[in-house]
Amino acid sequence: MGNGTILVIEDNALNMKLVRSLLRIGKYDIIEAKDAEKGIQLVREHRPDLILMDIQLPGMDGLNATRLIKDDPSLKDIKIIALTSYAMDGDETKALKAGCDGYIVKPIDTKNFLNTIEHFLNGEQKIQPPIR
Ligand code: MN
């Protein structure tokens, strides 16, 4: 038994690898998808406790995927944390507007990552302030 199930929707293999190793340290059960379509299918099948949602994805982007999940009454309580890119100015605002419960800026701050996840899971923290 882990600390909860987290679905990671991320198309970049290196980012996925990093997130996977961090979540393993945190003893979370991890489900992975490389695109939003597969991600949404896994949300319905597994009902994870939290979703880490990349914004830039092939096909449907993370914003539309978030809207779809949050529009579904049976899924809307699942927390969605956007993985926004430091380079993409305005992504954080767009993510929150789309219905994300918070965001984590990439490149990921590995020291604070697990604390941030725990805070979001416990509902203690709505938004991680961007470190700029
Ligand atoms: Mn991406």
The pLDDT of residue 132: 46
The answer to whether the CB of 14 falls within 8 A of the CB of 44 is no
Average pLDDT of the chain is 92
Distance 105 CA to ligand 1 centre (A): 12
Distance 115 CA to ligand 1 centre (A): 23
Percent of the chain with pLDDT over 90: 84
Distance 68 CA to ligand 1 centre (A): 18
Using a CB cutoff of 5 Å, list residues around ligand 1, an ion.
11-12, 54, 56
* Structure token pair of residue 66: 């978030």
Distance 62 CA to ligand 1 centre (A): 9
Evaluate if residue 129 carries a pLDDT over 60: no
Distance 13 CA to ligand 1 centre (A): 9
The answer to whether the CB of 59 falls within 8 A of the CB of 85 is no
Exposure on the CB side of residue 1, measured as CA atoms within 13 A: 0
Q: How confident is the model at residue 123 (pLDDT cuts 50, 70, 90)?
A: confident
Distance 126 CA to ligand 1 centre (A): 23
The answer to whether the CB of 35 falls within 8 A of the CB of 9 is yes
The model's pLDDT over 27-74, given as tens digits with 9 standing for 90+, comes to 999 999 999 999 999 999 999 999 999 999 999 999 999 999 999 999
73, with CB counted inside 10 A (0-12, 13-18, 19+), is exposed
The pLDDT of residue 126: 52
Taking the C-alpha atoms of residue 37 and residue 78, their distance in angstroms, rounded to an integer, is 17
